[in-house]
Amino acid sequence: MVPDFNNPLTSPFWFAASMSKLVICTCKKCELDIWYPRHVCPKCGLKSTWRQLSGKAKLLSWTTCDHRINPIFNTSFTPAIVIPEDASSVQLVTQLIIEGDQYPRCDMSLRVDFAEINTVKNGNFLAPLFVPA
């Protein structure tokens, strides 16, 4: 997902990321996390809000793309699906950064990190990624 700071539905996520904070759309009344974001709660219809997460997560799934599959990204990467510890009904699509002799494994403990993503066409932006905890 490339950030659109003019989209009122997703801009809170990207503004938070630009401050190294991970947030998620939620309904305070229902205590329901809403992902992907929606303007209103699908359960009660009230306006959704955002809440900050701890950044701790577990690895659900991943793959490593050694060849560029999206021309806007200029490096190989490991897209992943993670489950935040404090939003367990949510699956976040993200990137996994693993270096050295570590290998991904299911339920691996992760923590959020923020990195500047360099794109060929759309400039740079700060995005939440996940690394081993």
Contacts of residue 100, defined as CB under 8 A and 6 or more positions apart, other chains included, come to none
- In angstroms, give the least distance from the CB of 9 to Zn ion: 16
Amino acid code (one letter) for 19: M
Please tell me the distance from the alpha carbon of residue 127 to that of residue 3, in angstroms, as a whole number.
9
Binding to Zn ion by CB under 5 A, coded x per residue (else -) over 52-81, reads ------------------------------
Decide: is 27 part of the binding site for Zn ion (CB under 5 A): yes
- In angstroms, give the least distance from the CB of 85 to Zn ion: 22
Residues 30 to 49 in contact with Zn ion, rule: CB under 5 A = 30, 41, 43-44
- In angstroms, give the least distance from the CB of 41 to Zn ion: 3
Give the H or E element holding residue 124.
strand 124-132
Classify 13 as helix, strand or coil: helix
Tell me whether residue 27 or residue 59 sits nearer to Zn ion (CB atom). 27
Classify 35 as helix, strand or coil: coil
Please tell me the distance from the alpha carbon of residue 30 to that of residue 27, in angstroms, as a whole number.
6
Tell me whether residue 3 or residue 12 sits nearer to Zn ion (CB atom). 12
The footprint of Zn ion (CB under 5 A) covers 27, 29-30, 41, 43-44
